[in-house]
Amino acid sequence: MGKITLKDLLTLKLNSVVAGIKADFSALAFYDPINMEFRWKLAIGSLNNRYIGIVVRSGKGICGRVLKTKREFLITEFPEELEDEFLEFPILIAEELKSAVAVPLFFQTQLIGVLLIGQRTKRKFSNEEINYLKKLSDEIVLSYTQGRKGEPQNDEKKEIKKAFLSQYFVQKKLIWGDKLDIILLDQRITLLSENAQQKLISIFDFLLDHAFIQKSQQKVNVLIELRSEHQFSVQIETEKQMKLSEKAFSRLADEVRMLNGNIDINFKNEKTILTMNFFLSLLIEDEL
């Protein structure tokens, strides 16, 4: 019989959590104090494995709330409870979770990660269930620290830049409602310079105007996700074919190239799938 790996141990713990409180979903995120971000590393009950590509800045979302308060964070009804902050919770969107509870993972006094439990129907977690999760979190930390060498570094305090793109998407969602679906998995966009974010907003305005003016009844999906450690991608999919003239597409391509990105457009049946890829480091500095 082969040696039990750290991943095996953590998977067993997550399975026991799901079985213990009869939840739909369970996941672990660990904190990177150097880059000041959380990454979801392991999940049970995932719908699509999109959690792997989620990057959460330390001041945002479930993990950010836990990091700030150093205690559990509960959501009974998502997204209603969070109003215009819903985009900061990509794990709930990607996994279609309605209710969730997250508890901190402490090594000594240092927060090293978050344990999340989710339900796809409305559910109010009891105090007994939360205490059970806290007990399991201690066991998870013990397994994690024994499986790794060295101790976690101290986290740093740093002000997170204002995410103009996030605010923009919230406004567009309020306007178009169910006609516009936005999944913001890579939250490193909060690192982008203000100039870069404003240029991306200009690109989104151009594309959404074309999509909705031509087919006002259609649905548009926007997905921003991790492509690699150095790249993020933006995918816009329209339910009906989005017609761009040669002049319009040339203008769009020029704007993308100004951000050192590339663009690809495909037509599948009646759908249009437009993908843009950008290098993160080139957009953090204001040297476009």
Domains and CATH numbers, the chain: 6-146 (3.30.450.40), 164-284 (3.30.565.10)
- Going by C-alpha positions, the residue among 264, 253, 265, 257 that lies closest to residue 282 is 257
Tell me: the pLDDT tens digits for 24-78?
999 999 988 777 889 999 999 999 888 988 988 777 889 989 988 889 999 999 9
Integer distance in angstroms from the first to the last C-alpha of the chain?
A: 55
- Going by C-alpha positions, the residue among 192, 247, 189 that lies closest to residue 60 is 189
Alpha helices, H only, 147-258: 164-176, 194-214, 246-258
* pLDDT of 246 higher than 60: yes
The average confidence (pLDDT) of the chain is 85
| pLDDT at 6 (0 to 100) | 80
* pLDDT of 288 higher than 60: no
Of residues 106 and 287, more confidence is placed in: 106
* pLDDT of 158 higher than 70: no
| pLDDT at 92 (0 to 100) | 95
Query: Listing from the earlier edge strand, what are the strands of the sheet with 110-119?
Result: 55-57, 37-44, 25-32, 110-119, 99-107, 73-75
- Predicted TM-score (pTM) of the model is 0.72
| pLDDT at 237 (0 to 100) | 93
Radius of gyration of the chain, Cα coordinates, nearest whole angstrom: 20
* pLDDT of 153 higher than 50: no
